[in-house]
Amino acid sequence: MLSYLVNFNVDRVAMESSNQVVALYRQLVKRGYCMFVSHPKKTRYIAEAKIKSDRVDSKAIAKLVRLDALPLAYIPDEETAALREKVRRRAFLVRERVKLRVKIKSILTYEGLKWPSDHGLFTEKGEA
């Protein structure tokens, strides 16, 4: 793809946002291309097309870029993206921990065991 852009003297690149776009977006920005990533839900011109194909979509995106009417998606910088990924992973781990605690309490209840009410089950005293 990159050789295609160089061979045809392309100065602007536009694409529809998806989960695979970010790596290509960052590579092309580093090489000096002016990048446009469309917001798929806001790009009504494409969404309302009767014929849906990559060829039709790409022509519509190109036309919207030329008209300066392409609704853009937000692409965070690498530092912000890394922080977001850390937050996402932490939130996932917290949800998993909560699921495990609920499962443990469910098993204890099923077995007819009571955990202490004056302190939490998952404190040092509760675990003892």
Residues with Cβ within 8 Å of residue 57, at least 6 apart in sequence: 16, 46, 49
pTM of this structure: 0.63
The pLDDT value recorded for residue 91 is 98
Ranges in the chain, pLDDT < 50? none
Q: How high is the pLDDT of residue 110? A: 93
Side chain identity at residue 102, one-letter code: V
3-class DSSP assignment, residue 118: coil
